Amino acid sequence: MFEQTAQNLHDTELRIGHQLTRIRQLELAGRLSDARHARETLAAITETRDALLLRLNVVISVAATQAKWTSLVRSISRAG
């Protein structure tokens, strides 16, 4: 799950970069209506990125907690 979420986040970051370039090109071409629509799309992509970052942080926290519990159980098992 971590790898897939990280890949999705990477892909989303690439989409953000592409969208920013597209917005600049549209603005330079004087296509302000299209640029506005592209900015709305950018907002949606950014929301997706934020959700992926949150998911990735949760996955990392869960993995860290599981590792701590596994270590604790092993140390208790060895002591007993």
Number of Cβ within a 10 Å radius of residue 71: 10
Q: Could you give the CA distance from residue 64 to residue 36 in angstroms, rounded to a whole number?
A: 42
pLDDT on residue 25: 98
Q: Which residues of the chain have pLDDT under 50?
A: none
> Residue 67: CB partners within 8 Å, gap ≥ 6?
none
Q: Specify the number of domains making up the chain.
A: 1
Q: Could you tell me the pTM of the whole model? A: 0.74
Q: Could you give the CA distance from residue 55 to residue 51 in angstroms, rounded to a whole number?
A: 6
2-28 and 32-79 helices cross at what angle (nearest 10)? 160
Q: Which domain holds residue 72?
A: 2-79
pLDDT on residue 80: 64
